[in-house]
A and B are shown apart, each in its own frame.
Chain A
Amino acid sequence: MFDLIPEFTPKLVAELDRLRLRAKREFVGMGHGSHTSPRRGSSLEFSEFRPYVAGDDFRYLDWGLYARTDKFYVKLFKEEEDLLTYIFLDDSASMAYPAEGGKFRAAIALTLALAYVALSQGDRVMVRLLSGRSDVVNRGFLQGRNRLGELVQRLVRIEPSGALDLAASLAHELIAIKRAGKAFVISDFMMLFNSVSRGLGLFAAANMDVSAIHVLGASELSGQGASGEVEVVDAETGERVRLFLDERERTKYSETLLRHSRQIRAFCLRLGMRYALYNTSESFEHFFVKAASELGMVR
Chain B
Amino acid sequence: MLAGLLPVLALAYMLRGRPRRVIVSSVIAFRALRARQGRRRLAKVHLDWTFFVEALILSLAALAAAEPYVVRPRKSVAVVLDNSGVMQVLMPSGISAFEAAKMRLVSYFAGSSDHITLYLTAPRPHRWESPLNGQSGIEAVLNKLKPVDAAEDLAAVSELLTDLVNSDRYDQIVVASRHELNPVLPGRVVGLTVGGPVSNYALGSFTVWRPSLTSPTVEARVTVANFSTSKAELKLTIDDARNSIAEKSLELVPNTVETVEFPNLPAAPLFRATLAPSDRFPLDNTAYAVVGSSSVVKILFVSPFEEHAAGLRELPGVRLLTESPEKYSPADASSVDLAIFDYTAPKEWPACNSLLVMPPGSTPPFDFDVMPASPIAFLTWVAPDPLTDGVNFRLLKPRQGEFFAPHPWMRSVASGLQGSLILAGEREGRRYVALGFEAFPYLGKANLPMSVLTLNILSYLSGSFSVSAGFRAGLPWRVPSGIHQIILPSGKTITTRPGDLFTETYEQGVYRLVGPNNEELRAVNFDNLAESNLLVATPIEFNVARKTFSSSARTDKRPLAGALIVLALALAALEAIFNYLARRPAVVDAGGE
Contact = CB atoms under 8 A, between A and B. Distances in A.
B566 interface: no
Given A97-B591, A98-B591, A243-B37, A228 B20 contact: yes
B129 to A, nearest CB: 59
Contacts of B591: 96-99, 235
B593 A105 contact: yes
A96 B30 CA distance: 18
A171 to B, nearest CB: 21
B24 A191 contact: no
B33 interface: yes
Interface in A55-101: 94-99
B529 to A, nearest CB: 86
A235 B33 contact: no
B30 A241 contact: yes
Interface stretch (A7-15, A28-36, A248-256, A286-294): A248-256
Interface string B14-33: 00001111111111111111
B22 A230 contact: yes
Contact of A242 (B19, B25, B589): B19
A136 interface: no
B29 A260 contact: yes
B28 to A, nearest CB: 6
Given A241-B34, A242-B19, A256-B32, A235 B24 contact: yes
B46 interface: yes
Given A98-B591, A244-B46, A249 B37 contact: yes
Contacts of B29: 253, 256-257, 260
Contact of B36 (A190, A239, A252): A252
A96 B592 contact: yes
Contacts of A236: 26
Choose among B20, B25, B46 the residue with the greatest number of A CB atoms under 10 Å from its CB. B25
A235 B23 contact: yes
10 contacts: A94-B26, A103-B25, A190-B26, A224-B22, A234-B26, A235-B25, A240-B27, A242-B19, A244-B37, A252-B36
Interface string A232-272: 11111101111111000100110011001000000000000
A252 B20 contact: no
A230 B593 CA distance: 22
A245 B36 CA distance: 12
Nearest to B45: A244
Choose among B23, B24, B27 the residue with the greatest number of A CB atoms under 10 Å from its CB. B24
A209 interface: no
A188 B46 CA distance: 32
A103 B29 CA distance: 18
Given A225-B589, A241-B31, A249-B33, A188 B22 contact: no
Nearest to A229: B19
Interface of B: 18-34, 36-37, 46, 589, 591-593
Contacts of A241: 27, 30-31, 34
Contacts of B23: 97, 232-233, 235
A225 B34 CA distance: 17
Contacts of A230: 19-22
B518 to A, nearest CB: 86
B30 A191 contact: no
A231 interface: yes
Contacts of A245: 33
Contacts of B37: 243-244, 249
A192 interface: yes
A257 B30 CA distance: 10
A226 B589 CA distance: 9
B592 A234 contact: no
Contacts of A228: 19-20
Contacts of A159: 593
A225 B30 CA distance: 13
A228 B20 CA distance: 8
Contacts of B18: 231
Contacts of A217: 25
A229 B36 CA distance: 16
Nearest to A220: B25
A240 B27 CA distance: 8
Contacts of A257: 29
Contacts of B34: 241-243
Contacts of A99: 589, 591-593
